[in-house]
């Protein structure tokens, strides 16, 4: 299955197609320290900021953190891990969100344990509920 073979039907009926996909291992290159909610929040924020190139709007599908048994506090110091793969994907719709556009696009960031595609089932459900009209930008050919 190639990148351009991934089509998604949003809950509002709009069809979107995956056009660009980039994946990284979440903790690759991160100092060997215990991941915590606070450290994970900074890592997620940095990934979202990096995905926002050239003014592209970005939607984050909130990751599910898994608590890690062992030392750690509560709140931002609680030891938790993110799913192992961070995914940045740019989707396009052949329909613009407002008059004057030729099509629309939106970048989505999410986390899942394996490489995409396929999309994790929970991620797919979140993606289908994205409010495309609120976040996507129109593009002109």
- Higher-pLDDT residue of 88, 74: 88
Average pLDDT value for residue range 39-65: 91
Task: Flag the least confident range among 47-56, 71-80, 105-114, 132-141.
Answer: 71-80
Task: Kindly indicate the confidence band of residue 91, based on its pLDDT and cuts at 50, 70 and 90.
Answer: very high
Average pLDDT value for residue range 65-75: 74
| Cβ neighbourhood burial of 1 (10 Å; 0-12, 13-18, 19+) | exposed
- CA distances from residue 77 to 35, 36, 64, 70, 97 in whole angstroms, order as listed: 9, 5, 16, 12, 41
How wide is the angle at C-alpha 6 spanned by C-alphas 110 and 9, nearest 5°?
A: 80
Residue 1 has pLDDT above 50, yes or no: no
d(CA 1, CA 66): 29
Residue 56 has pLDDT above 50, yes or no: yes
Where do the domains of the chain lie? 3-139
d(CA 22, CA 24): 7
d(CA 74, CA 96): 45
């Amino acid at each position: 299955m190639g990148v351009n073979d991934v089509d998604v039907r949003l809950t509002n009926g709009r069809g979107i197609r995956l056009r660009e996909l980039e994946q990284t291992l979440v903790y690759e290159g991160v100092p060997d320290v215990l991941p915590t909610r606070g450290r994970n929040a900074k890592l997620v924020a940095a990934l979202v900021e990096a995905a926002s190139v050239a003014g592209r709007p970005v939607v984050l599908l909130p990751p599910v953190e898994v608590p890690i048994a062992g030392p750690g506090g509560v709140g931002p110091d609680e030891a938790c891990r993110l799913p192992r793969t961070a995914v940045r994907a740019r989707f396009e719709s052949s329909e613009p969100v407002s008059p004057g556009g030729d099509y629309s696009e939106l970048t989505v960031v999410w986390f899942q344990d394996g490489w995409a595609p396929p999309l994790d089932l929970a991620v797919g459900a979140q993606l289908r509920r994205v409010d495309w009209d609120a976040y996507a930008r129109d593009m002109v050919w």
